[in-house]
Structure 1
Amino acid sequence: MPAINPRWIYLFVLLSCAGLLGYALYAQHVDGLHPCPLCITQRAFFALAGFFALMGLIFNPVHLGRYVANGLMLLSCIGGGAVAYRQVWLQGLPPDQVPACGPSLEYMFDNLPFAEAFRTLMMGDGNCAEVVWTFWGLSMPTWSLIWFCALGLLALFNMLITPKAD
């Protein structure tokens, strides 16, 4: 099997994350879809994965650096995937089991201790269980979960391949 240049994978992950974040901003500001706290958290994880891909693209690390860059991308994807899975799970709950809507994200971080605000954020609320957008029958958090899994697998693959010399 021919060796693959890891920079192409970094570039693909970076462009994917930028495109996904760009669409999320379009959906928010043009289509009027207001993100819930779990959606905002998923955006942060896409931004982190994209940032680590950008660092890999710029510095083209070798040996230990390649494991670190791809490991951080993978951890970002695992974290984002866990948040997306939580939201998909909330969306699948029967209406009588959906948690009540909570305070806004700004209110939580302004008025609650950080640990409590973070715990409340990760639990999600009724807003997170509402499906307001679908594509091919899948909600936005489901698509996020699919992308986190795909990008995480690419990061893992990029960590394990034998790189082609530039």
Structure 2
Amino acid sequence: MLRYLNQCSRGRGAWLLLALTALAFELTALFFQHIMGLKPCVMCIYERCALFGVMGAGIVGAFAPKSLPLRWASILIWLYSAYKGLMLSIEHTNIQLHPNPFVTCDFAARFPTWLPLDKWLPSVFVASGDCAERSWTFLTWSMPQWMIVIFAAYLLVGALVLIAQPFKPKRRDLFSR
């Protein structure tokens, strides 16, 4: 399996699949926000940024998957984004499941001055909801709980791809067994 994952990481298809799954989740979040009228909170916006990191890793990896430095950079971006997204989702879930008047999220997302995403693209990055509010559930789980599953899956697959890198990929010759 590790040889197969190494082989997949050397092709564009797997990286594009990674980027497309993250894009699908981003489009779903925008659907919830603009069509269903759910207001994203600050934690939702940060989780959205982590998804953009996973999508960016897929795009960078698709540029030159056979290039070792770019592949390693993509894997590291992928793992970092998935880890941060997982930690944010866990914190967001704790805020929802264990409300505490002393533990709240910020009123507005804090972006660096050199990257004011909330100013550049306010329809995507401006937070207007409350982190403690459970406005949507599916199978009794709220959105941050589902994001824990999604980011954990990204992190698990990313870790397996990282572990698979030292293994030589399978050769697919006509006469090899």
Q: Per the shorter chain, which TM-score range?
A: 0.7 to 0.9
The reply to whether residue 40 of structure 1 matches residue 68 of structure 2 is: no
In 1, the alpha carbon distance for the partners of 2:60 and 2:144 equals 26
**Matched residue of 1:156: which SS?**
helix
Does the 8 A contact of 2:19 with 2:55 survive in 1?
yes
Residue in structure 2 matched with residue 122 of structure 1 by the alignment: none
CA distance in 1, matches of 2:171, 2:61: 15
* Residue 53 of structure 1, CA deviation: 1.0
| Equivalent residue, structure 1, for 2:145 | 142
2:163 equivalent in structure 1: 160
- What corresponds to 1:76 in structure 2? 81
Unmatched tracts of structure 2, length 5 or more: 112-128, 173-177
1:98 offset after TM fit, Å? 4.0
Deviations 1:36-60 (A, max 9, x none): 0000000001001111111101211
Q: Do the aligned residues in 2 keep the contact of 1:98 with 1:129 (CA within 8 Å)?
A: no
Report SS of the residue matched to 1:158.
helix
TM-score, length-scaled by structure 1: 0.77
Unaligned runs of 5+ in 1: 110-125
- Counterparts of 2:106 and 2:147, CA distance in 1: 24
Contact 1:5 1:164 in 2 (8 A): no
Cα 1:84–1:102, aligned 2, differ >3 Å: closer, same or farther? closer
How many residues were matched structurally?
A: 148
Partner of 2:108: 105
Q: Give the distance between the partners of 2:155 and 2:34, measured in 1 at CA.
A: 28
Task: Please identify the structure whose Cα radius of gyration is greater.
Answer: 2
**Cα separation, partners in 2 of 1:143 and 1:160, compared to 1, 3 Å:** same
Deviation beyond 6 Å, 4+ runs, structure 1: 100-103
Number of the residue aligned with 1:133: 136
State how far apart, in whole Å, the 1-side matches of 2:36 and 2:65 are.
38
Query: Which of the numbers 7, 17, 28 marks the counterpart of 1:12?
Result: 17
> Within 1, Cα distance between the matches of 2:156 and 2:103?
35
Give the one of 61, 65, 70 matched to 1:60. 65
Q: Structure 2 vs 1, CA of residues 57 and 103 (structure 1 numbering), >3 Å: closer, same or farther?
A: closer
Cα 1:165/1:16, change in 2 over 3 Å: farther
| Cα distance, 1:12–1:19 mapped onto 2, change above 3 Å | same
TM-score (norm 2): 0.73
Structure 1 or 2: larger helix share?
A: 1
Give me the CA root mean square deviation. 2.7
Q: 1:147 corresponds to which letter in structure 2?
A: I
Matches of 2:145 and 2:52 in 1, distance apart?
Answer: 18
